């Protein structure tokens, strides 16, 4: 653990990622305290105003403060991220562990289901699921969660296969430890490293997917201050008011970037064998 | 080799069956049914019953699936409720646009990302390396729909260099076609390029540490020869796998890019089918895109097996 923290702390980029992420997290948690204006409050007197000391990021076509909407937008992004990644993490890892541990026909069935889910481009599958379920925040979290299940499934299954013949697993089996206990207490903690890395990276994917689907009008409800919705509405006015299209996208990019560099840093710190960039 | 290819194709068959089941039953999960959507405000039970019988929607789901899949094998994906045009015809009409978009994005990624990744690895910890790494990180993080929007803002609205949307066939006017396709393909290819660049860099760094590179160097092989023939050739093997996977993502990403740049491709057709609740067309698009994705992955696996001598059959 000490070595992990040392390696992580030494990685300046990953540390920067963590700091940016914390800023977004604080924004999401304390949005009502930090936002200078009500994000829903329309004000015809200041429609499409350029960034100024009153409105740091300017205002939109209804006179709503863009900075306040971005601050509240971080709540949507994090909420969708946490719940959708939670869904894929729980279902994917469970399926992966069961498939890897039991093998045989169960493994075959689960792996083929994963293969079929992998046969669709992720954003495309999420789009189709949203089309079927209908536009709402809950459905969006379900759609994104479902799409990323096979990634966690494959990682967990692969990791289980690499350790399931280990002596300590054999020993636990030989003294009659229950399979569920073996999976939860002996296997799960030992396959956590790649899962933690994937979870971090998946937050970035989920934020991007939320913004993309909302941008297409198939994500959260139209009145919700999501970065994707803001960008979708802002692009129609960008010839007159560039700030409408620039700041929401910039926020999404920074949030995704922070998860990506944090994920890379965690990968390096947790398991140097998994390194993406070899120094 | 042929055994491997046959085996790989056989593995794809259950996946394709699974895809057809997903494409068919996913649409059936829609609240109400396609006829309710088709009739909309003009819905009346008698007319709906007639249409259900006409389209075979009153029969058991499993029977409907087998009728549908038999027709799919005959090349009949059904007819759009809204345009009355054959689904396959609509897709084939739009395919050249999506295909061109994907190919151009792919070419940008390959011709910029691979040399940049290789150079970054050769000049490790230099300004070039840091710039390339930063661009790589930015590329994988920046959402393509935002990049596209910014391109329109800067290069169309402010500078007026490129049209903000629309399409002209390459065979009609090649220059104008390239002007229309430049921004969408860069916006779509940016993330793929970033992934490929990062992969090339790390793969090259791995290869450059190998003993055979030292050996070649000791034997007096020139630097240029060493990099191109010994290092890059081997480093590109994992890059090809990544490129293949990314080709599939280009297919998914094209949905958004085609919408932003008003390109009449398969992605936009899918979106239109979703907006119009044209379920037969939507079903066809799902099947087509997933089939394309599986085919690309299959081809990549085969190419990988051909070029990688380490794979045993």
Of A77, A43, A82, the residue nearest A224 (C-alpha): A77
Q: What is the DSSP letter of B42?
A: G
pLDDT at A279 over 50: no
B271 phi and psi angles, rounded to 5 deg? -60, -40
Which residues in chain B touch residue A112, judged by CB atoms under 8 angstroms apart? 14-15, 18
User: Which regions of chain B does DSSP assign to beta strands (E)?
Assistant: none
Q: What are phi and psi of A70, to 5 degrees?
A: -70, -40
For residue B149, give the nearest of A113, A123, A249 by CB distance: A249
Which residues in chain B have their CB less than 8 angstroms from residue A12's CB?
none
Does residue A278 surpass a pLDDT of 70?
no
Give B79's strand partners: B86
CA distance A1 to A18: 18
Q: Chain B residue closest to A211 (CA)?
A: B143
Task: Give B 237-276 residues with CB within 8 A of chain A.
Answer: 248-249, 251-253, 255-256, 259-260, 270-271, 274
DSSP per-residue string spanning chain A: -HHHHHHHHH-HHHHHHHHHHHHHHHHHHTHHHH-SS-TT---GGGTTPPS-SSSTT-B-TT--BHHHHHHHHHHHHHHHHHHHHHHHHHHHHHHHHHHHHH-HHHHHHHHHHHHHHHTS-HHHHHHHHHHHH-S-HHHHHHHHHHHTHHHHHHHHHHHHHHHTTSHHHHHHHHTT--HHHIIIIIIGGGGHHHHHHHHHHHHHHHHHHHHHHHHTT-SS-TTS--HHHHHHHHGGGTTT-THHHHHHHHHHHHHHHHHHHHHHHHHHHH-GGG-SS--
Between the ranges A5-9, A209-213, A220-224, B59-63, where is the mean pLDDT highest? A209-213
Decide: B187 and B148 in contact? Cβ < 8 Å: yes
Q: Can you tell me whether residue B124 is helix, strand or coil?
A: coil
Locate all alpha helices (DSSP H) within B29-170, ordered by sequence: 34-39, 45-54, 61-73, 87-108, 114-122, 127-141, 144-151
Helix, strand or coil, per DSSP, at residue B265: coil
Tally the residues of chain B: 313
* Residue of B143, B159, B160, B235 to mutate for A, most A C-beta atoms under 10 A: B143
Q: From the list B15, B149, B293, which residue is nearest A235 (CB)?
A: B149
- Per-residue pLDDT at A275 exceeds 70: no
List C-alpha distances in Å: B110 to A254, B87, B106, B308: 26, 33, 6, 19
A165 touches chain B (CB under 8 A): no
Q: Rounded to the nearest 5 degrees, what angle is found at the Cα of A143, between the Cα atoms of A142 and A145?
A: 65
Tell me the pLDDT of chain B (313 aa) as tens digits. 778 888 888 888 888 898 999 888 888 777 666 777 777 777 788 888 888 887 777 888 888 888 889 988 888 888 887 788 899 999 999 999 999 999 999 998 889 999 999 999 888 888 998 899 889 989 989 999 999 999 999 999 999 999 999 899 999 999 999 999 999 999 999 988 999 998 899 888 888 888 888 888 888 888 788 887 788 888 888 888 788 778 878 888 889 999 999 999 999 999 988 888 788 888 899 999 888 888 888 888 888 777 776 665 5
Lowest mean pLDDT, pick from A1-10, A143-152, B196-205: A1-10
Report the complex ipTM. Answer: 0.87
| More confident of the two residues B233 and A177 | A177
Handedness of CA B272, B277, B278, B279 (dihedral sign): positive
Q: What is the share, in percent, of chain A residues with pLDDT greater than 70?
A: 96
Q: Is A279 touching B (CB cutoff 8 A)? A: yes
Instruction: Give CA–CA dist B81/B273, Å, rounded.
Output: 10
Distance from CA of A253 to the nearest CA of B (A): 5
Question: Is B284's Cβ below 8 Å from some Cβ in A?
Answer: no
| Residue B298 touches chain A, beta carbons under 8 Å | no
- Torsion sign, CA atoms A45, A51, A56, A59: positive
Q: What is the mean pLDDT of residues A255-277?
A: 76
Q: How far is CA B66 from CA A182, B39, B290, in A?
A: 43, 26, 19
A120 near B CB under 8 A: yes
Which tokens in the block code for residue A150? 């096979």
Q: Write out residues 66-105 of B within 8 Å (CB-CB) of A.
A: none
Angle at alpha carbon of residue B200, lines to B194 and B204, rounded to 5°: 150
* Per-residue pLDDT at B229: 78
Query: Any CB–CB contact under 8 A between A185 and chain B?
Result: no
A277 against A66, higher pLDDT = A66
Angle at B215 between CA B210 and CA B219, to 5 degrees: 155
With bands split at pLDDT 50, 70 and 90, how would you rate the model's confidence at A273? low
The rounded mean pLDDT for chain A is 88
The highest-confidence range among A89-93, A127-131, A201-205, by mean pLDDT, is A89-93
pLDDT tens track for A184-216: 888 888 888 889 888 988 999 999 999 999 998
A240 touches chain B (CB under 8 A): no
pLDDT at res. B210? 83
**CB-closest option in A119, A253, A261 to B19:** A119
Instruction: Determine which of A112, A128, A265 to mutate to test the interface with B (most B C-beta atoms within 10 Å).
Output: A128
CA atoms within 13 Å, Cβ hemisphere of B55: 19
pLDDT digits (tens, 9 = 90+) for A242-254: 999 999 999 999 9
Q: What is the pLDDT of residues A37-64, one digit of tens each?
A: 999 988 888 888 899 999 999 999 899 9
CA distance A118 to A257: 24
SS3 B128: helix
Q: What is the mean pLDDT of residues A79-90?
A: 94
Q: Are A127 and B202 an interchain contact pair (Cβ–Cβ within 8 Å)? A: no
The verdict on A10 touching B (C-beta cutoff 8 Å) is no
SS3 B31: coil
Share of chain A above pLDDT 90, in %: 45
Chain B partners of A128 at a C-beta cutoff of 8 Å?
Answer: 26, 274, 282, 286
Does the beta-carbon distance from B149 to A132 stay under 8 Å?
Answer: no
Residue A63 falls in which region: left (phi positive, over 0), alpha (psi -120 to 50) or beta:
left
A277 confidence band (pLDDT: 50, 70, 90): very low
Per-residue model confidence (pLDDT) at position B312? 56
Specify the higher pLDDT residue, A72 or A7. Answer: A72
Q: Which residue of A has its CA nearest to B155?
A: A239
């Amino acid at each position: 653990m000490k070595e992990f923290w040392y390696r992580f702390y030494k990685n300046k980029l990953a540390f920067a990622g963590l700091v940016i992420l914390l800023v977004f997290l604080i924004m999401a948690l304390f949005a009502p305290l930090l936002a200078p204006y009500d994000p829903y409050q329309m004000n015809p007197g200041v429609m499409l105003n350029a960034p100024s000391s009153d409105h740091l990021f300017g205002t939109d076509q209804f006179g709503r403060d863009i900075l306040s909407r971005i601050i509240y937008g971080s709540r949507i992004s994090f909420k969708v991220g946490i719940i959708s990644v939670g869904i894929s993490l729980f279902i994917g890892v469970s399926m992966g562990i069961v498939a890897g541990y039991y093998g045989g026909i169960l493994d075959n069935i689960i792996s083929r289901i994963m293969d079929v889910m992998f046969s669709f481009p992720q954003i495309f599958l999420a789009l189709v699921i949203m089309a079927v379920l209908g536009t709402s925040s809950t459905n969006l979290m379900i759609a994104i969660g479902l799409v990323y299940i096979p990634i966690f499934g494959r990682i967990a299954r692969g990791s289980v296969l690499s350790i399931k013949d280990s002596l300590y697993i054999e020993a636990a089996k030989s003294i009659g430890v229950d399979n569920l206990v073996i999976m939860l207490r002996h296997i799960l903690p030992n396959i956590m490293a790649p899962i933690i890395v994937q979870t971090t990276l998946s937050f970035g994917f989920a934020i991007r997917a939320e913004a993309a689907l909302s941008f297409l009008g198939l994500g959260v409800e139209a009145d919700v201050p999501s970065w994707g919705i803001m960008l979708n509405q802002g692009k129609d006015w960008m010839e007159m008011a560039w700030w409408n299209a620039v700041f929401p996208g910039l926020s999404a990019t920074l949030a995704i970037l922070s998860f990506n560099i944090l994920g890379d840093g965690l990968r390096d710190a947790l398991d140097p064998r998994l390194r993406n960039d070899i120094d | 080799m042929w055994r491997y290819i046959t085996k790989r194709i056989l593995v794809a068959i259950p996946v394709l069956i699974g895809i057809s089941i997903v494409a068919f039953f996913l649409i059936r999960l829609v609240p109400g049914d396609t006829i309710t959507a088709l009739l909309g405000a003009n819905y009346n039970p008698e007319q709906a019953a007639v249409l259900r019988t006409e389209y075979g929607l009153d029969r058991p789901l499993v029977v409907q699936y087998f009728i549908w899949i038999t027709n799919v094998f005959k090349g009949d994906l059904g007819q759009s409720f809204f345009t009355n045009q054959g689904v396959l015809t609509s897709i084939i009409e739009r395919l050249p646009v999506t295909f061109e978009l994907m190919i151009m994005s792919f070419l940008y990624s390959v011709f910029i990302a691979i040399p940049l990744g290789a150079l970054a690895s050769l000049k490790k910890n230099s300004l070039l390396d840091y710039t390339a790494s930063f661009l790589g990180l930015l590329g994988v993080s920046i959402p393509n729909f935002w990049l596209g929007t910014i391109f329109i803002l800067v290069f169309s609205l402010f500078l007026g260099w490129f049209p903000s949307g629309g399409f002209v066939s390459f065979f009609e006017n090649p220059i104008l076609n390239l002007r229309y396709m430049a921004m969408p393909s860069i916006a779509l290819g940016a993330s793929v390029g970033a992934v490929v660049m990062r992969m090339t860099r790390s793969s090259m760094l791995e290869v450059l540490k190998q003993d055979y590179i030292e050996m070649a160097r000791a034997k007096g092989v020139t630097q240029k020869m060493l990099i191109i023939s010994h290092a890059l050739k081997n480093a590109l093997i994992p890059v090809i796998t990544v490129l293949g996977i990314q080709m599939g993502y280009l297919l998914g990403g094209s949905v958004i890019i085609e919408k932003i740049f008003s390109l009449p491709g398969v992605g936009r057709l899918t979106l239109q089918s979703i907006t119009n609740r044209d379920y037969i067309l939507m079903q066809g698009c799902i099947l087509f895109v997933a089939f394309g994705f599986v085919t690309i992955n299959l081809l990549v696996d085969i190419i990988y097996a051909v070029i990688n001598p380490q794979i045993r059959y």
